[in-house]
């Protein structure tokens, strides 16, 4: 839904005209730096350059940071969560991209790094970074989500986490690299090829089997992120990027691709990253991340400061294609309103949604429900748990509720 004058008036706009946003001139004129006074920082020459070589955010934004959970983190098996509740639009800045690594971040000298492609191929080849960058390149915007993102919400009493800690194993960047299909053309894969093995150059030697169809479709061998080289924690100098696939399969620090006929049954696709079902059997190779959305404002840190107009906002995404619709409920799921979607809507990418809203000072519960272009609808939490049980750990995509109290404090409705 696109916003127009009528929807604005019907929803928040009326209150905006009546109540207004912003203090009156009289109310704000007392402080020395406030209008009509000339602020202090206009009265002397500013610094010529703050960070001549490489810029950093304003010190006033110092609380917009990745966060970790104490106890989860060991010396090397690390995760940090993106502050999705403090970001605007859809792009995750490189310094805030969530991190998940199982054997620490290797210190790779790109001049000594190679990618070998071998196995069921006509010509096994070894590529330098320079070689990889000579091939025709592509740049695409896609989300990356750890398959364990939001797993805390499976439990009977969720951990009462904030949106950063419940949904922040999620990022969205412009990824640049060479299509894997281009490299597979170079080596010439044999007709019987069905799977490939991707291996990382970290101490975990993270290894996953990937269907050859994905490799020939939209897989990218990525060396850049949001315009600059990959960050070390994102796989510098090169990673596998599989749009829409679970985070784990996006092998960082990629050093080896082997072409074969069958999956290799590695640790990461047997003891981990399988979905344990209620009957005790496990579902293997659930690659695509399902349709999902979450409200990011209001949140634990930023909520309403007074009655009146606000924009409820959040993110929606699907590993299966484009987001078609996001509905928002402000009455705990009884009724739903269609939110505006920020365009362009990109396949396997975050989509920002917004709903004009007037807060009357009443407590309420806000939720969002996304639908993708294939008609897949994000399930209610209870329905998802009924279906997959509480043994499950990965691919949680239940509808998320946030309770807003009379004092505007936000809490996790699953607690």
Ligand X SMILES: Nc1nc2c(c(=O)[nH]1)N[C@H]1C(S)=C(S)[C@@H](COP(=O)(O)O)O[C@H]1N2
Nearest CA among 358, 235, 371, 381 for reference residue 304 = 358
Q: Which of 85, 100, 292, 322 binds ligand X (CB under 6 A)?
A: 100
Binding of ligand X at residue 144 (CB under 6 A)? yes
Q: Which of 86, 102, 214, 348 binds ligand X (CB under 6 A)?
A: 102
| Residue in the shown chain whose Cβ atom is closest to ligand X | 200
Binding of ligand X at residue 97 (CB under 6 A)? yes
Alpha-carbon distances, residue 23 vs 28, 121, 304, 361 (angstroms): 6, 69, 15, 19
Alpha-carbon distances, residue 164 vs 100, 128, 389, 395 (angstroms): 15, 37, 24, 17
Q: Do strands 254-260 and 115-119 pair parallel, antiparallel, or not at all (unpaired)? A: parallel
Identify which range of 3-11, 98-106, 183-191, 405-413 contacts ligand X by CB under 6 A: 98-106
Binding of ligand X at residue 209 (CB under 6 A)? no
C-alpha angle 283/284/290, rounded to 5°? 75
Rank residues 142 and 325 by Cβ distance to ligand X and give the closer one: 142
When CB distances are held under 5 to 8 angstroms depending on the partner's kind, the choice from ligand X, Mo ion, none that residue 99 binds is ligand X
Nearest CA among 230, 115, 238 for reference residue 184 = 115
Q: Which of 146, 189, 324, 349 binds Mo ion (CB under 5 A)?
A: 146
Q: At its nearest, how many Å lie between Mo ion and the CB of residue 15?
A: 42
Alpha-carbon distances, residue 72 vs 93, 98, 101, 205, 215 (angstroms): 24, 15, 12, 21, 33
Binding of ligand X at residue 296 (CB under 6 A)? no
Identify which range of 160-168, 201-209, 277-285, 349-357 contacts ligand X by CB under 6 A: 201-209
The contact pattern for ligand X, residues 225-264, with x = CB under 6 A and - = no contact, is --------xx------------xx-xxxx-----------
Round the CA-based radius of gyration of the chain to a whole number and report it. Answer: 24
Identify which range of 37-45, 95-103, 231-239, 254-262 contacts Mo ion by CB under 5 A: 95-103
Q: At its nearest, how many Å lie between ligand X and the CB of residue 373?
A: 25
Binding of ligand X at residue 86 (CB under 6 A)? no
3-state secondary structure string, 194-263?
Answer: CEEEEEECCCCCCEEEEEHHHHHCCCEEEEEECCEECCHHHCCCCEEECCCECHHHCCCCEEEEEEECCC
When CB distances are held under 5 to 8 angstroms depending on the partner's kind, the choice from Mo ion, ligand X, none that residue 204 binds is ligand X
CB 384 within 8 A of CB 153: no
Binding site for Mo ion (CB under 5 A): 100, 146, 247-248
Binding site for ligand X (CB under 6 A): 97-102, 144, 146, 171, 200, 202, 204, 206, 233-234, 247-248, 250-253
């Amino acid at each position: 839904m696109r916003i127009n004058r009528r929807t604005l008036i019907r929803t928040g706009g009326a209150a905006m005209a009546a109540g207004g946003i912003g203090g009156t001139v009289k109310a704000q004129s007392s402080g020395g730096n406030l209008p009509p006074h000339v602020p202090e920082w206009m009265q002397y020459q500013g610094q010529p350059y703050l960070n001549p070589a490489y810029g950093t955010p304003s010190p006033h934004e110092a609380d917009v940071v990745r966060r970790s959970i104490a106890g989860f983190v060991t010396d090397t098996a690390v995760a940090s969560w993106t502050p999705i509740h403090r970001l605007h639009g859809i792009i995750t800045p490189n310094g805030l991209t969530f991190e998940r690594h199982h054997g620490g971040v290797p210190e790779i000298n790109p001049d000594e790094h190679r990618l070998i492609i071998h196995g069921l191929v006509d010509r096994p080849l070894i590529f330098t970074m320079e070689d990889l960058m000579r091939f025709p390149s592509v740049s695409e915007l896609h989300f990356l989500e750890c398959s364990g993102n939001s797993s805390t919400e499976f439990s009977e009493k969720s951990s009462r986490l904030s949106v950063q800690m419940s949904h922040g194993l999620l990022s969205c960047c412009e990824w640049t690299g060479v299509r894997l299909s281009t490299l597979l053309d170079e080596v010439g894969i044999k007709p019987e090829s069905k799977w490939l093995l991707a291996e990382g150059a970290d101490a975990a030697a993270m290894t996953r089997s990937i269907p050859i169809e994905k490799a020939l479709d939209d897989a990218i061998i990525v060396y850049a992120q949001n315009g600059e080289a990959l960050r070390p924690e994102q796989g510098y100098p090169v990673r596998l990027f599989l749009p829409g696939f679970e985070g784990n399969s996006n092998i960082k620090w990629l050093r080896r691709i082997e072409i074969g006929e069958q999956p290799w049954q590695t640790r990461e696709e047997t003891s981990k990253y399988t979905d344990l079902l209620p009957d005790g059997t496990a579902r293997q190779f659930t690659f695509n991340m399902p349709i999902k959305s979450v409200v990011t404002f209001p949140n634990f840190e930023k909520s309403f400061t007074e009655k009146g107009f606000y924009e409820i906002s959040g993110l929606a995404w699907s590993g299966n294609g484009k987001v078609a619709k996001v509905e928002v409920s402000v009455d705990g799921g009884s009724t739903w309103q269609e939110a505006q979607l920020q365009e362009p809507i990109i396949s396997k990418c975050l989509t920002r949604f917004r709903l004009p809203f007037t807060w009357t000072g009443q407590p309420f519960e806000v939720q969002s429900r996304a639908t993708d272009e294939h008609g897949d609808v994000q399930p209610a939490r209870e329905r998802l748990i009924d279906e997959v049980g509480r043994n499950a750990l990965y691919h949680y995509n239940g509808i998320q509720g946030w309770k807003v109290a009379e004092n505007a404090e936000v809490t996790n409705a699953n607690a």
